[in-house]
Structure 1
Amino acid sequence: MQTKASKLKRLFEVLFVSTRLGFTSFGGPIAHLGYFHEEYIRRRKWMDEKSYADLVALCQFLPGPASSQVGIGIGVMRAGILGGIVSFIGFTFPSVLALIIFASFLHTFDLSDAGWIHGLKIVAVVVVAHAILGMANNLTPDLKRRAIALVALVTTLLWQSTFSQVTVIVGAAFIGFFIYRHKLDEKQTPTYKFPISHRIGYICLSLFFGLLLLLPILREVTAVEWIAMFDSFYRSGSLVFGGGHVVLPLLESEFVRAAWLTEEQFLAGYGATQAVPGPLFTFAAYIGTVINGWQGGLLATFAIFLPAFLLILGTLPFWDSLRQNAKIKGALMGVNAAVVGILISAFYQPIWTSSIFQPIDFALAAVLFSMLVFWKLPPWIIVLAGAIGGLLISYI
């Protein structure tokens, strides 16, 4: 039984660690999973490797920003619902604040060719490579699972669409179910006592679907601008599979075509989002600020992330019992192997292809990888070294 003091200590611990990650996690959702794996699993051991992989697989199934949902899930398991909330706030706040400021001053900056940003992209290459090596060793120990990972890699690399990852994961679940349903020598998966009841889970899932149906009706009936904004951001956050980049066409359709902001403003904000750490979904903070000031930025952030919150809180109460089922465990073994393949695919496109252009880029990546893996330096030092290295490369 935890005391109030120990619960409060855990909350502050979650807030501190997630905020530090919020300031240093560059490179997009796949890179974020690498940062989480390094900080939460390798260093702090808040979860075991398999439970982390299962959580990643669950969040890949759900629409919304997968890395943010993984962070929320880890926070919930560490310090309850409040832990999930502070984990989200810590990881998201730095980029939201930066983008709200950028929305007012971005026209005076041109960050697209900044050398330190290129260095941060190379940091993302290093972090993802390290995460993939660790996950591959644990999740693809036999030839069958390596074959599943290879098929997932090739499929998602050659078929890049909104539904490719979901299709691959579902297919891998079926394959894993049939191959491993009778496997008896797997170690028992550790169980977790979630501080969320099934009743809370049902309420969250009901709210998710209820808002998805009700908000468009309220928008038509009231014609209130704030409700229209909330509806557009909520639907964008509810209907996205495959990570933050997939939300861009939805946001452009909702706001540029509807003349809420210009194409130039949209693209400028997208460039700024690439320059800040944290989830790409915080692009909504920029759009909301352009439309209705900082209040609009906060509303947009709340609206686009609310579906992710409701879905992860709605599914976590049922997650542990499902993954303890022998047949479900077989399916998860297949899914986890597929996730490795998907990570390798995302490592190449877009992370590698947008970061490593010349031999000196690869040389910097090799140095940073050695600092992280062999010298075991903290991730924030790697981020700082990468930014400085990218800046020096720009002058060569």
Structure 2
Amino acid sequence: MLYLKQLLEILVVSTRLGLTSFGGPIAHLGYFHEEYVRRRNWLDEKSYADLVALSQFLPGPASSQVGIGIGVMKGGAFGGFISFLGFTLPSVIALILFAFVAQEFGVADAGFIQGLKIVAVAVVAHAILGMAKNLTPDLTRKSLALFALITTLMIPHFLSQIGVILIAGLLGYFIFRENQNEEKLSMQFPISKRFGAICLTLFFGFLISLPILSNVSSITWISVFDSFYRAGSLVFGGGHVVLPLLEREFVPTGLISEESFLAGYGAAQAVPGPLFTFASYIGADIGGWTGGLMATVAIFLPAFLLILGTLPFWYSLRENNKIKGAFIGVNAAVVGILISAFYQPIWTSAIHNSIDFALAALLFFMIVYWKLPPWVVVLSGAIGGTIIAMF
């Protein structure tokens, strides 16, 4: 009975956060800290910082993984699932509904779509600057980012992205050996190492087997599930980074039009919760409710398996400087991959003349310096695009 009460409390608190947490992953972590650490004292400052550090080392949606980890600490593996469900479900429902509205009323052809494309330019540019500052502070990491940028521009294929990430991780493993004394971790998790090993085995098993099944099978949804799962497995840096990866997976194949894709991305900026729920919109646009739910499962499954798999081993991972070095190299390469995708297709599809550039500059200023809420920026972009289309 006490356990059920704990699960209900996790669900209520996480759902409230899912309905009110605007502003992206960094803002989400601030909301989590206020609710879980200061107000409810579910974990102490050091434990929260350790959990955030782990989420930064792993690919996938950082804020969602922190929420899952807090749920695990409070209520075990099922508590982690309940925490994820409450935080994620509101934006999943909102974006699936938006996909139906977009199809029914043909908003993909409306004049404000150009404005939403320009919003994407401003948002991704802001993300790039923040990531570059934090992830490429020295010449070595800047060089890794340049290598990733040139390679992915010259070879625009998902295999080149995987290759760049692997090479950067290998180089980071040997180059970055940080020698620093850290305090022992204070976190304890109700998950066994055996359970963690099973989760990690499943993660790599899906990552290897899904592309093979996709190539040998003629079933479209296996290929779609593979694309979402791979995006969730390889994205370091949060929801903004997943935009170009998903665009390259679905727009060139014709499963979703570029206009519908960018309309959904604009909508994803305007709703609370994790940006990875953008996948829910794409899935719903392709295959209705079932497609939206399938896409949600596929893109978040890697985050689940990784956070549950690594929590029991986090002590040794955190103390191994070579492992940290590999992640440092990977993070630097991701900056280059994002710049490559920022140019093609985001910039080339949105900025056609000086007026488009002027609107992009205004929206960028609203995000970076005026620090306006995301929904205000999205609405301003839509209005600006509509006005531009009238002339």
Q: TM-score, normalised by structure 1?
A: 0.69
Partners of 1:7 and 1:356 lie apart in 2 by: 44
Percentage of identical aligned residues? 38
Q: 1:92, CA displacement in angstroms?
A: 2.4
Distance 1:174 1:192, change over 3 A: farther
Q: Which runs of 5+ in 1 are unaligned?
A: 22-34, 60-65, 221-227, 253-262, 290-296
Partners of 1:53 and 1:122 lie apart in 2 by: 32
RMSD over aligned Cα atoms: 3.9
Match of 2:118 among 115, 118, 122: 122
Q: 1:281, CA displacement in angstroms?
A: 5.5
Other-structure match for 1:284:
283
Distance 1:267 1:168, change over 3 A: closer
Distance 1:272 1:249, change over 3 A: closer
SS of the aligned residue for 1:163 comes to helix
Partners of 2:157 and 2:366 lie apart in 1 by: 35
Other-structure match for 2:15:
12
Match of 1:379 among 362, 374, 379: 374
Other-structure match for 1:391:
386
Other-structure match for 1:111:
108
Other-structure match for 2:172:
176
Match of 1:329 among 308, 319, 324: 324
Other-structure match for 1:275:
263
Conserved? CA contact 1:126–1:368, under 8 Å: yes
Segment of structure 1 superposing worse, 342-351 or 201-210? 201-210
SS of the aligned residue for 2:349 comes to coil
> 1:1-396 maps to which residues of 2 (within 5 A)?
4=6, 7=10, 10-17=13-20, 35-37=24-26, 39-40=27-28, 55=55, 58-59=58-59, 69-70=61-62, 72-79=64-71, 80-103=80-103, 105=104, 109=106, 111-112=108-109, 114-181=110-177, 183-185=178-180, 197-204=192-199, 209=205, 234-235=225-226, 237-238=228-229, 243-248=245-250, 271-276=259-264, 277-278=267-268, 279-280=278-279, 282-289=281-288, 297-298=289-290, 300-319=291-310, 320-321=314-315, 322-396=317-391
Partners of 1:189 and 1:385 lie apart in 2 by: 48
Q: 1:91, CA displacement in angstroms?
A: 3.2
Deviations 1:149-203 (A, max 9, x none): 111111112211021111111111111111112x315977988666655455455
Q: 1:329, CA displacement in angstroms?
A: 0.6
Partners of 1:267 and 1:170 lie apart in 2 by: 29
Partners of 1:340 and 1:189 lie apart in 2 by: 31
